[in-house]
Structure 1
Amino acid sequence: YGMAGLALSLGAALTGLGALLLRLLPGRRPAGEQEVLDWFDAWLARYRPTVGLYFSGGASSAYQANMWLEPLARLDGRPVIVLRERHMVQRIAATDIPVVCLPKVSTLMRLEHSTLRVLLHPSNSGKTSQVLRIPTIKHAFVNHGESDKLSSCNPYAKAYDEVWVAGPAARERYALAEVGVEDKDVVEIGRPQLDAVRPYAGPPAPGAFTTVLYAPTWEGWDGNPGNTSVVEAGENLVRALLADPGVRLLYKPHPLTGSVDPRARAADLRIRELVRAANRQRGGPRPDVSAA
């Protein structure tokens, strides 16, 4: 048994050594830093990106970038997604838009000599200031949603060339907040994520559903009870809607709901159970997607 064990160990060691030697072959070695940078410069020259989405953040914040992927893909020009953390590459939703990850500031600065002219910023982060140094790029803050929370009139917004908002309410919010964002830098673009929603065309046909989307925001980092409707009104609102057999309810809470205020988390769970219970009670086929 001793000789057999020795032979087995020797065989495993030789196998591992062989695999290592294969990786050291010129065609199998991981590319060095300069080789990668040369490839990146060549790719920039070949692809010639014109507009990009810049994003940096933690694992739980990927939704902030993902909500802008479809609008970005519909833009004229050649879009690109610029990430700063490698872990975020795996969390970006499926897209045909090229994705580059540039952890180092020195690599990021290579964008200054590219054809990239506009960067959209769906969030503020510590690394945002690094890319704002590039003078050849116009930086527009698009946020990842709007509400009456303080984050929707953050003083950091004045660091950007322009602040793109949904409409007059957001423009007025910045004016009232007096955080240094000039009115001339606020641009109303609507809410591209809602482009697929059809305008009102009269009451639904007999037997058809009226679709109601309830998409409350979260309680915010300050836990202000006025930030979200989930705690005080969510359950009553959902109960009333579900009591109407002609209503199809879509409940889409903010991903961070309940992360600060336990009451919001508890209310969210109760609302989800109300929706599940209604699904169990209602028979017949589910409404077609077009009913939305």
Structure 2
Amino acid sequence: MRPMDFSKRKNAFPSYLIFLSMLLFLCSCAGSSAFKRGKKLETLKNYDEALQSFEQALKNDPRNHEYRLYYERARFEAAIAHFDQGRRLREAGNLEESLAEFQRASAIDPSNSLAAQEVRSVQKMIQDRQKVQEAEKKKLGEIVEKNKVNGTREILNPTLTTSINLKLTKDLKTAYETIGKLGGINVIFDSDLGQKLQTQTPLELNSVTIIEALDLLALQTKTYWTAVNKNTILVATDNQQTRQLYEEQIIKTFYLGNSLAATDLAETITMLRARHTRQNCHGGKSFAVHR
């Protein structure tokens, strides 16, 4: 039996060699294919996917020094790419997206101390910004509460109460400002109106009050106005989104009476301008104030 067993194992040995050779060949082919794909992606500066391909090639052939070299280089380039993108986003004010890029750079290359430093720095910037916003919100709430009056658009109190006859021939902005001046009303325009403010708006009004004139102008131009306080209105494009924004988020909490102190007004304008600057980075609403 022993000679027979030895003979069988001896005859099977070439089969084992063939099997191992085929296995090594397949691994080599897989590694070579992933390596070639990685080089192509690296040429296209797609460092993230190139890194994945080189990692796969190295996994299939761990002793291949060329694969290791390309893998380390792609890892370095990918980390740098995310680091640079993080800086650009930070400079643009997109702190959350910037933080994600720095975190990605640090994860790819943990030895990159600059990336780890930027992660901590941007996290602090986000925390500081949140503190400022909370302080502004609290201060604005105090101002609003101190000067709050009840009502909606009925709080508007034009200085001219008699009927007027008016022929408007210029642009939308001028039309609203003309009616506003007649009634002693300040006009705030939503910046989303954009070029629409320059649209010619011919309109003839006879025997109407200031509020009726505003309503007719809004109807004619598909705009929307609402009272901010007794002598100020805000004008915006008339759509559901705009109405919801101003009626629910601003107007319901921002009725400022005529008794608003000069210091409160200055603080309010400063905070709104600061919000405008930040929100513009994310497509937020902004204001233009005309007196």
TM-score (norm 2): 0.25
Structure number with larger C-alpha Rg: 2
**Larger relative helix fraction:** 2
TM-score of the two chains, using structure 1 as the length reference: 0.25
Q: Greater relative contact order (Cα 8 A, min sep 6): structure 1 or 2?
A: 2
